[in-house]
Amino acid sequence: MNQILNAQRLIQLSQFHPKLKNIWYLVAAATFSVCNEPQEIPKLYHYAMLLSNDNAHMYRFTLASQTIDLLRSELPIRKNLINENFQQPTFFQKQLTAKFREVILKTGPLAGLPRAINGLTVLKETTPDILLPHLDPIDPWEAAMGNSSPLSETSMRRKHDKTIQERDHTIQDGLRHWNSIYNKVSTRVVNNLNSSYPDLWYYTLVHVYGPLFAFDEILSAQETSLVIIASLVPQDVNPQLRGHLKGALNIGCDKETVEAVRGLAILISQWCGVKWKSGVVKL
């Protein structure tokens, strides 16, 4: 598979814009996932993990080279080194790991579940063992017979709805998030989806906005909005991108940050060979 990121490009991304200091790696991960270049995600992850250490920014050039060298090493050596580097991960590193997973998951309904699966699989393979979820195996055959659960609920931040009341609460969360983003045009956009196909609006609300986009225990609403923008930029879907560029402002992102996310996603998309029919819409 094509290798896109080197040490120089990692540094370029990390210094792309001051407004993206604490989110550049999440924006980049979303863009690479959508561009179907999942092999680049571990480079972002490990560089961000190393930069999180005290005074690490003084050595960002060295750490970028170390990241590339680490992920080029043979699998057994690589895994041992990764585990040695993160024997006692900090709270921030634990949080960062969760955010990378959540970003890739949220690209699923935007760019396709297969790409999200590939991204999360590659990330899992390069995550320190101590930061991997430790789960009991699921038996889908037993679960289909009603003899066991098809979900690993004990490890999930996001709980599935067991009752009608819980489902209604999730839907209300989705509607509130939707209205925050679309604001004055919310009704028009809803009815456009509904008139195109009622099941399209149902799916968007019940399976995307409610349980996924409105869920803010790992990514904030603002972070989710910026990740959505990064996910839309490579796809040549200007009507949707226009709505989410404005929506990011509606939920509290400042214009400079939104424009910086758009610019970073364009740069990465170009590295991945993406071409647009008529340019990328802007604010």
Range of the domain at 208: 7-133+160-271
What pLDDT, on a 0 to 100 scale, did the predictor assign at position 53? 81
Is 154 within a domain?
Answer: no
Domain count, the chain: 1
Is 148 within a domain?
Answer: no
Side chain identity, residue 13:
L
d(CA 13, CA 16): 5
State pTM to two decimals: 0.94
Is 38 within a domain?
Answer: yes
pLDDT in tens, 116-158: 999 999 999 999 999 998 888 888 888 888 887 777 766 667 6
Is 143 within a domain?
Answer: no
What's the rounded mean pLDDT across residues 97-117? Answer: 97
Is 149 within a domain?
Answer: no
* CATH number, domain with residue 20: 1.20.1290.10
What pLDDT, on a 0 to 100 scale, did the predictor assign at position 215? 95
